[in-house]
Amino acid sequence: MKILVKFFASCRELCGKTSERFQLQDKATLRDLRSVVMSMHPILENMRDYLLISLNETFVTEQTELKEGDVVAFFPPVSGG
């Protein structure tokens, strides 16, 4: 299945792209996708434990199963006030 990953803020700057498509096996989870993205973009590894990841504009657990056409977004840690 094909999944679109969007990179925001410093994730975009580090990867050098705004988005990328990934091909995954059926029944892959968000955790599986994160591992694939980290292997393709090891520069993100330092942020691994702090990355915010959404699925179709909703925050879900890493055990969530992905479906064809899903859109996943990677955000760096944020703060504000």
Q: Give the DSSP per-residue string, 19-42.
A: EEEEE--TT-BHHHHHHHHHHH-G
pLDDT band (50, 70, 90) for residue 22: very high
pLDDT at 81 over 60: no
> In order of start, what are the domains of the chain with their CATH numbers?
2-75 (3.10.20.30)
Tokens standing for 78?
A: 């944020």
pTM above threshold 0.85: yes
Residue 77 has a pLDDT of 77
Residue 78 has a pLDDT of 72
Tens of pLDDT, residues 27-78: 999 999 999 999 999 999 988 888 899 999 999 999 999 999 999 999 987 7
Tokens standing for 30?
A: 């968000």
